[in-house]
Amino acid sequence: MQKVNHLQLLFWLTATCLCSCHSSLHSDGQEWPLLALADSIELETSALESVSAEKAISASQWAQENLREFELLLEDEEMSVSREEGEIISDVSRARRLLKDQSKRRESIANSQKRTLLQLRGLAAAIGNGTTHDSQGTPIDSAYIALNLSVELQMGRTLKKSITETQTYASRGIAIAERTKDKSDSLQTVLRGRLARLILERNSSE
């Protein structure tokens, strides 16, 4: 079985233009899933970009700082919270988990998107135009197409899934942070007062 060289795919568009001869192979529409996937990746990317990266990062920082504040306030073993108070803290924790690594995720997607789209559309062009050889002279036969078609579709779907997840996590994380901020501030005030009373009671009994 031939090995896949992804560098070959980066030059398929050029190779397609340079190679005017056509093989006897028919594409049978094999290029359309590649093109459809490329288009859907661009749509998912637009959806991600509609969710402000700045808001996501700001909400992530808020959640991290406030969760740490709750952890400090509850370090005293005599401190306790009600079920309702615990749910507020859980919401802060959930926002932090959802928004974790937003910057890294978006940077990774940006780095992968251009390359993946070029490879998907390059392979689609090679198949659709009946190009007989890639830029390195390797014959583009049915086995070559089948192997690369499978690999490129899988890579594209993996990228699309990452984009969708990042957008979903950002939207949910921001929404949770925004609806929890006031409750979180109020609860911290309550817990500070509760901790202060515990300390005073403990000191007065010594």
pLDDT tens by residue, 36-85: 999 999 999 999 999 999 999 999 999 999 999 999 999 998 999 999 99
pLDDT at residue 138, as a whole number = 85
Alpha helices in 50-141 (DSSP H): 53-73, 83-99, 102-128
Q: What is the pLDDT of residues 109-157, one digit of tens each?
A: 999 999 999 999 999 998 988 888 877 888 888 888 899 999 999 999 9
Asked whether residue 147 is assigned to any structural domain, the reply reads yes
Asked whether residue 35 is assigned to any structural domain, the reply reads yes
Distance CA 163, CA 158 (A): 9
Res. 9 pLDDT band, cuts 50 70 90: very low
> Mean pLDDT across the chain, nearest whole number?
87
Token readout for 118 is: 């070029």
Res. 11 pLDDT band, cuts 50 70 90: very low
Asked whether residue 38 is assigned to any structural domain, the reply reads yes
Asked whether residue 18 is assigned to any structural domain, the reply reads no
Average pLDDT over residues 164-178: 97
Top-confidence residue, 31 or 186: 186
Token readout for 76 is: 């005293």
Asked whether residue 19 is assigned to any structural domain, the reply reads no
pLDDT above 80 for 18: no
pLDDT at residue 203, as a whole number = 80
Asked whether residue 112 is assigned to any structural domain, the reply reads yes
Q: What is the largest distance, in Å, between two alpha-carbon atoms of the chain?
A: 95
Count how many domains the chain has.
1
Radius of gyration of the chain (CA): 27
Distance CA 61, CA 67 (A): 10
Which amino acid, one-letter code, is at 99?
L
Asked whether residue 184 is assigned to any structural domain, the reply reads yes
Which residue range is the domain that position 41 belongs to? 26-204
Chain centroid, CA 112 distance in Å: 11
pLDDT above 60 for 92: yes
Asked whether residue 110 is assigned to any structural domain, the reply reads yes
pLDDT above 90 for 7: no
